[in-house]
Structure 1
């Protein structure tokens, strides 16, 4: 039994050098600046951002084992401002003695603003070299002032090929691993384990270790054995953070891009990740107005009907309505003319201010209004040919301004044709005047 046997397999197999590091070739390739910085013990303050199990803490460990500086590690889950200030005070003392300090903070996104602010001066003055690790988008979770003082290093999920190599290392090849050279495992079973790990090396190693500890006299890891354990990794999803915004954006753009296959896929990614279906329904209703609009007025009716159906049926039956709406919206003709009209109206109002309502369209229900000529010159449309008086109802400063411009798509083409017809009538009548 080796010295590492009491530690979890994932901890035992942490790399001790860059040559031992698996994956992240883009940031740690032979010619990369980060690799050169680690090898020369000259790393800058950095934020490591990437999904769980992709090597952020492992790279920090490699830096720890290869630096001549003090290395202090802390977890943002377990530490507060008091602990941070204590570490910084010690680092200042060592700085005065000519000794640098690297401060590694795992899950730095869990620090609040005041905790992150406490790091600013020390990072700026070089009292510490900060390495923060986070699974969340630093743009949301790390103060911009602190982020501007650090290099942002993006970690990718490990590839299937890299995780397959890791599986064999753990089972047979690495002396720190399980040393199960007499246990059979097929490429197909390795592929299943790798697929379920979803790029997460830590999850994969934990599953392998669990399986290995429960093999008993068995000399093979097969499909039957996998079926006896719950080895499915939860999908990466956080209802209030990066993946939440990424997936709803992908769903919206798939609908806008008339791609029903992608729309259903991203919708179900969100549902399986635990998203509230009502949030998705609200976004689908928005898409019906924003991206389909008057090209298919039935879109918003169907989206609202799906909301009512979900409230009535609940899960799982009500979820079918979300699929129906997503597919319908994706295949519906597209128009954003309504949204553009609203934006143009807002811009005009901002530019011209509160222009007075023309007297002809004011309400003359009071004596004062009558005396001021409210309503004078108004032509009642139903008394006009075609029930259309051809009046311009805008303020005179904006007369004949076109705010709504219909598209030629779907049912909106009929509205475009109607608008052309009305313009022709108005032009003919104005020519006679």
Structure 2
């Protein structure tokens, strides 16, 4: 009996344990932190051997294969030791793919991947395609494979998840964009992060499809130097394409296999340039799966968007409070600021992942009247924007930040939480940060 050891007892770890047990592995799960009660219950019920708040090396180094959670870096001492002992260390995505023939639509990118993933699932559901959504959001891929209920999987894939794949390949891969992010995990080398994102297409063949942003200079430069085997379906707002999706006046046009689909951008429920691109990517997938054109149009028009992504919370005294907690990097915040139509009080800060704020300067100059820092260390933010805005305040909690915004806001202004940073200094994760913002606004 092969021994499967799992490092990390979150969604991906427990999903792998469920699948491993079902496939006849001897399973052991170990987490350095405390495992949440809901996951402990699952492990106990399935009689899976587990431990938390420690890693017992004698129970780990005898593994035939190790699945490490995406949050654990390659540089962790235990991972280094496993590699030295020639024990394969893989991701949950790779492990799950060994036991599934079900085709995958895989979505990655620095920004937009959650919106695109949700939008595709919404389109497939309305098109009566039996699909399951998960990966970096919602259910783990491994758990969905174990349940074996779907004809398609729609998976959001982070760079950390892609780092641990060997043979996994999506039938349809989508790369929304690449901007510097998570550089703290990639030796502060942008090229390492780029390579990581492109792993999504590395095992694809000529039967597969690769959908990508043809306006993104980082993507186009990489593709010029590195051939991709999959059939390429670009999308663009700047140029007319022979094949793929592009903008003609205010219409999205999609050309695939001699079929053409058009829809007006004004019919898309999510506004803004970046959302037009998200819609292009999702509609391209729908076309490949031959979903009815009318269904695509209706789905685009009634899609509600994603929580914590430019989510309008409340209007108080004619001031709109907007939750964009999901903006964990500079590029995401760029889109948020770009879409602001009125004077904005901007709440930002958190764990800096090697951020460079230069690109934001013109937008801040034009749209931001006050900055509220929400982080433990705000020196870099103060250096970047201190001379541009009149008001720059530091706060130590979400309540304090929202109350300060309330004081600084005039009628017609926006208050925007778009942190451009990770959340782990003051919050559990970006969802926790977004929920705290919404609660603080509702308590004003």
Q: State if a TM-score over 0.5 links the two structures.
A: no
Higher strand share: 2
TM class by shorter chain equals: under 0.3
More helix by share: 1
Question: TM-score scaled by structure 2?
Answer: 0.26
> TM-score normalised to the size of structure 1?
0.26
